[in-house]
Amino acid sequence: MKNLLVLVRHGESIWNKKNLFTGWKDVDLTTRGIEEAHAAGKNLKARGITFDIAFTSKLIRAQKTLTIMLEELGQTGLETIEEQALNERNYGDLTGLNKDDAREKWGEEQVHIWRRSFDIPPPGGESLKDTAERVLPYFRQKILPVVLSGKSVLVAAHGNSLRALIMELDNLERDEVTKLNLATGAPIIYELDENGQPISKSE
């Protein structure tokens, strides 16, 4: 397929497992996360997909997921661009807190608003709207033109940075994207037309 864009959320991280708000904290993958990354690479290899270039964030959990996937694909030397704009949402004062402890401190309703509203950030952090405002310009300027040149592009990033991309690609409303949950280590495969609109989407 031409004009191929594959999005993958990193495998399970140590703080995912501990139910902590992670954000920009640079934490590694768990054993399960490593296994998920291997499975994602094998999944794409079984479909006969290879890539011309890859993009990832500045955080080790996404970079390591990408490295493992490329090993499975036999593409360890692939050109890879690391970009802070693809980082996870910054959770500010919530970073490092257990989600249950945060609910006890601020209340269930307030933490739910911070986690799931579109434009209300936690103290010192980013909302999903803020995240989209750094992810989408980078996508439009640096990633999409490569895809539209006929290339196959792999993006290994994070739940919220990828939700921002999917909001754009799938033309989701604000309330739709706030309900969107992405599994760790599960490729989402888009084929785009010449205008950057999805022709097909598979998981």
Q: Which residues participate in catalysis according to the annotation?
A: 10, 88
Helix (H), strand (E) at residue 111: helix 108-116
Contacts by 30-36 with C-beta closer than 8 Å and gap 24+?
A: 33/61, 33/65, 33/184, 33/185, 34/64, 34/68, 35/11, 36/11, 36/12, 36/65, 36/184, 36/185, 36/186
- At residue 108, φ and ψ (nearest 5 deg) are -55, -45
- Between CA 152 and CA 190 the distance in angstroms is 10
CA-atom Rg of the chain in angstroms: 16
- Between CA 164 and CA 177 the distance in angstroms is 8
For 7, 21, 124, 142, 175, the CA distances from 203, given in Å and listed in that order, are: 10, 26, 34, 24, 22
Q: Which two tokens stand for residue 4?
A: 């191929």
